[in-house]
Amino acid sequence: MADTPSKKPKRKSRYTADRGVAGAFEGETMTRRGLMTGGALAAGGVASAAFGLPALGFALGPMFEDGTPDRWQDLGPEADFNVESYVPKVMNLVAEIGEAGKTTVYVRKFDPKRDEPSPSDKEKNKEPQPYVAISTRCAHLGCPVRYIQASQRFVCPCHGGVYDFQGKVDGGPPVRPLDRFYTRVINGRVQVGERFSVNSELRRFKPRDPSNHLDGLWQYLYPSRPST
Amino acid sequence: MSKLTPPLPKFLRPAPARPGEKDNGEAGKPSAVDELKAGAAEGGAGVVGWLDERSGSSKLARSQLYRKVPKGTNWFYTLGSATLFAFVSQAVTGVFLAMYYNPDPARAYQSAAHITNEVFLGELVRGMHRWGATVMIILIFLHMGRTFVFGAYKYPRELNWIIGVILLVLTMAMGLTGYLLPFDQRSFWATVVGVNINASGPIMGPYLADFMRGGAEFGAASLSRFYAMHMLLIPGLIGALIGAHLYLVAKLGTTAPPWLKAEKKELQKEEI
């Protein structure tokens, strides 16, 4: 491809013949060597993508799937619960991992005198959830919170998050109220369903990770995801 | 010498005569063949010599082991090798732990307990892996501190510093992914919180947490995922980057300690 300096034009011609490439054809703009190099690179790229992209999609797939199945779990008869205090019950959050998938859920009856109905229900003129089922997952980093009846507060042991009787943040680092579960009553027995997150007005959102804000400008930094 | 019949590869051919010297075919500096002959005369004419003649490995080893190092090189310069040794120790013990460990949520805890309580020397090997992880982190920070205090991150070694920082992050990721594997209450909940800390990053954080858990909830897929990352993905990356790290060390050489900077440049090198 080397050219003698004397013949070199000021601006390189697009024709290989003008550029003095050995064995150039008339009207040829790309050297055969250049075509082979590009072709080999392209073939390598296609071959790598052929296994790389499916493998990447395979690994990243769960990020874009709605993974939590909609299932209802029995917590016990209605007589077990009251409006005064939370009753701890054990439920299965992740079915397939045995003991580690079980979690405590704090349940009490919805109290129209004390509880403000969620704006999500009020706007659609719907009945509020019959029971308040509070998730023990702290909204800071996911440690398990404990309900203390004497102070009517939920307290997190890890970093001192405190929540009031409604599960709203009372102090410490949490960024939103405690998550809740959908509840229903079937044949006099209380059942819990999917988890949902709430903002400071108790408006319902799809379940979020702990530490993800749902109020103010911060909420726009933590958009809803396909998996939640 | 000149009677060798098959055409020799270029690196084995005798060097041409220097200008002014008499060209008798063997002049100039000693060729690779002479070096090989000298090596063969000293012994090692058996298997080692056979391999060496074909691979040139002694030449490579010599060029790496007998390079010039700055004056004042001291024990602090061994921290990088110590870190490498810690990584090799983790890799070896990890491979053997994998022979007994079972990354299934129902059996992980039992298999880890089985290693400790029943397998011959299991407690020792698991202990080496567990404490070696801590030792490796400590050594990395000491090595990093040495590099920083001695100014060894400056031109032309900035790229090696960057690779080192990536290696530090990857080692931390090894710590996070490995901590889950015993699958007891402490490791489970510590990992849940660790993943939630990742989820607290804006915009990308929740996606990263989803990737690590393999879904929205911490379930059975999460343990296999952490196992695969801990066993295959991250060690592979670490191994490749250690190769690049060492290549740059060999290429650029080590720096003199800062207290020698004032001295004349010619005095800074000594042959070992």
B210/A225 touch (CB, cutoff 8 Å), yes or no: yes
> Which of the four pLDDT bands, split at 50, 70 and 90, describes residue A12?
confident
pLDDT for the residue B22: 63
- Whether A225 shows a pLDDT value over 80: the answer reads no
Mean pLDDT lowest among A46-55, B95-104, B258-267: B258-267
pLDDT digits (tens, 9 = 90+) for B237-269: 999 999 999 999 999 989 888 887 655 555 555
Q: Using a CB–CB cutoff of 8 Å, tell me whether A115 touches chain B.
A: no
Size of interface A-B (CB pairs under 8 A): 84
Looking at residue B1, its pLDDT comes to: 46
Average pLDDT over residues B94-113: 93
Q: Please judge whether B216 and A210 are an interchain contact, meaning their C-beta atoms are less than 8 angstroms apart.
A: no
Q: How far apart are CA B173 and CA B230, in angstroms?
A: 8
Question: Are the beta carbons of B193 and A142 separated by less than 8 Å?
Answer: yes
pTM passes above 0.80: no
| pLDDT at A68 (0 to 100) | 63
Instruction: Among A100, A211, A222, select the one facing B105 at the smallest CB separation.
Output: A100
Residue B229 to chain A, least CA–CA distance (Å): 11
Rounded CA gap, A199 and A214, in Å? 5
Residue type at position B265: K
Assess A65–B contact: CB distance below 8 Å, yes or no.
yes
- Encode pLDDT of A67-83 as tens digits: 666 689 999 999 999 99
In Å, how far from its chain's centre is CA A74?
A: 26
Strands B69-70 and A180-186: unpaired
Q: Average the pLDDT over B172-181 and give the result.
A: 96
- Say which of B185, B192, B202 has its CB closest to residue A142: B192
Quote the mean pLDDT of chain B: 86
Q: Tokens 């409006």 belong to which residue?
A: A83
**Contact yes or no for B221 and A62 at CB 8 A:** yes
Q: For residue range B25-39, list pLDDT tens digits in order.
A: 555 566 667 776 666
> Which residue does chain A place closest to B228, by CA atoms?
A59
pLDDT tens by residue, A106-115: 999 999 888 8
The answer to whether the Cβ–Cβ distance between A94 and B217 falls below 8 Å is yes
| B210 vs A93, A222, A227: nearest CB | A227
Give how far A6 is from chain B: nearest CA, Å.
Answer: 34
Pick from A94, A223, A227: which is nearest to B218 by CB?
A94
Of these ranges, A54-63, A207-216, B226-235, the one predicted with the greatest mean pLDDT is B226-235
| Contact flag B220-A208 (C-beta cutoff 8 Å) | no
Nearest residue in chain A measured CA to CA from B206: A209
Q: Which chain A residue's Cα is nearest to B183? A: A100
Find chain A residues with C-beta within 8 A of B228's C-beta: none
* Higher-confidence position of B19 and B41: B19
Q: For residues A196 and A181, is the Cβ–Cβ distance under 8 A? A: yes
Mutation for B interface: A143, A181, A194, A211, most B CBs within 10 A:
A211
Q: Is the pLDDT of residue A10 over 70?
A: no
Compute chain B's Rg from CA coordinates.
26
- Tell me if A143 and B193 make a contact (CB, 8 A cut-off): yes
Taking alpha carbons only, the member of B91, B99, B88 closest to residue B121 is B99
**Confidence band (pLDDT; 50, 70, 90) for B132?**
very high
Give which of A160, A164, A120, A119 is closest to A143, Cα–Cα: A160
Q: Would you place residue B111 in the very low, low, confident or very high pLDDT band (cuts 50, 70, 90)?
A: very high
**H or E element in which residue A48 lies:** helix A32-60
pLDDT score recorded for residue B140: 97
Q: Does position A44 have pLDDT exceeding 60, yes or no? A: yes
Structure confidence at residue A151 (pLDDT):
93
**pLDDT of B48:** 83
> What per-residue confidence (pLDDT) applies to B244?
97
Interval B141-175: pLDDT, tens: 999 999 999 999 999 999 999 999 999 999 999 99
Q: What is the pLDDT of residue B69?
A: 86
pLDDT for position B271: 55
CB B17 within 8 A of CB B28: yes
Mean pLDDT rounded to a whole number for chain A: 88
